[in-house]
């Protein structure tokens, strides 16, 4: 244990400090070209959804992995360094390799898994994967022209929609003015003719059940009016007969019974020969009946206890 804490070290007799160089050599004594590409461990997320070809495990985009990042020498695109990543399947631990693709601003799957379809990505299919710069520029110009044409078509569609809305609003305003004018004409005609025109218009648009109900109400009102008129006429005839009888009694007291009997027989013959309407002259019309009274009438309470034979106790006081 004492060797770890020594303050001096052994130097051989042939030790020459001038022979010690400052240059750093790679591990294993090999140069950078002999050592191979630089590899380092990184933590990354899957840039796209993929499926393992060995076990079929699905790995979604954004899944985190402990990957080995490789920097291959001599693999560049327009001076941009390419990087290759090595990950393992989360189910079967099969190796999956993909690299960067600066040309299409994306990633390219090399082996171990199959990338899911991303139709919104450009440069992944066979038609645009090997296109040149000129073809890419032509395609971008064509897409920009299509986008401008689409915007122009959208502007025309919006203009047409606004025109249709304006026409619809004008039609609604015209219909509203026409309705207001017709209502004003009907109201003016109703005031001039006393409601006949309005009743005729309403009768034209009224429903059949409402018309039937109104007709029944009118028939009931007419029948009630006739019944009241008949009762009033009978009362008038009875009063006329009573007045004639009283006149005959007065004449008999003054002139004799013969004249009274003659006058009564004559009145009876005239009443039999003439209709009731002719007998009731305007001078002999009875006075109008008194107006109806709406005074509340208190009804006398019945003594149900007496009917049942129950005797009430008399109060002591």
Ligand-binding site membership of 52 (annotated): yes
Instruction: Say if residues 44 and 64 touch (Cβ distance below 8 Å).
Output: yes
Ligand-binding site membership of 61 (annotated): no
Ligand-binding site membership of 173 (annotated): no
Residues in the chain: 317
d(CA 62, CA 43): 12
- Enumerate the β-bridge partners of residue 51: 58, 114
Ligand-binding site membership of 92 (annotated): yes
d(CA 305, CA 291): 39
d(CA 83, CA 70): 6
Instruction: Say if residues 148 and 81 touch (Cβ distance below 8 Å).
Output: no
Query: Which tokens in the block code for residue 28?
Result: 């294993």
Torsion angle, CA of 147/150/156/160, rounded to 10 degrees?
-140
Instruction: Give binding residues as ranges.
Output: 52, 55, 89, 92
Which residue ranges make up the annotated binding site for Zn(2+)?
Answer: 52, 55, 89, 92
């Amino acid at each position: 244990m004492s060797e770890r804490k020594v303050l001096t070290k052994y130097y051989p007799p042939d030790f020459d400090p001038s022979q010690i160089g400052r240059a750093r050599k790679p591990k294993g004594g090999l140069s950078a070209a002999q050592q191979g590409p630089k590899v380092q461990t990184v933590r990354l997320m899957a840039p796209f959804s993929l499926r393992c070809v060995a076990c079929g495990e699905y790995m979604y985009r954004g899944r985190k992995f402990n990957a080995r990042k490789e920097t291959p020498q001599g693999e560049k695109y327009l001076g941009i360094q390419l990087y290759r990543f090595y990950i393992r399947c989360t189910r079967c631990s099969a190796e999956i390799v993909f690299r960067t693709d600066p040309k299409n601003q994306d990633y390219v799957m090399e082996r171990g898994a199959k990338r899911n379809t991303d139709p919104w990505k450009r440069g992944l299919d066979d038609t645009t994967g090997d296109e040149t710069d000129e073809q890419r520029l032509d395609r971008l110009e064509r897409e920009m022209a299509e986008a401008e044409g689409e915007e122009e078509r959208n502007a025309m569609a919006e203009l047409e929609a606004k025109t249709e809305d304006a026409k619809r609003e004008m039609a609604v305003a015209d219909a509203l003015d026409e309705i207001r004018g017709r209502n004003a004409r009907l109201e003016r005609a109703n005031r001039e003719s006393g409601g006949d025109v309005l009743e005729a218009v309403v009768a034209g648009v009224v429903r059949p059940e409402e018309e039937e109900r109104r007709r029944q109400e009118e028939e009931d009102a007419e029948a009630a009016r006739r019944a009241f008129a008949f009762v009033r006429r009978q009362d008038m005839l009875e009063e006329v007969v009573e007045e004639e009888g009283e006149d005959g009694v007065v004449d008999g007291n003054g002139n004799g019974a013969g004249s009274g009997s003659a006058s009564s027989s004559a009145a009876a013959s005239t009443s039999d020969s003439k209709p009731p309407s002719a007998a009731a002259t305007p001078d002999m019309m009875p006075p109008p009946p008194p107006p109806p009274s709406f005074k509340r009438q208190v009804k006398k309470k019945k003594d149900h206890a007496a009917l049942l034979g129950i005797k009430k106790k008399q109060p002591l006081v």
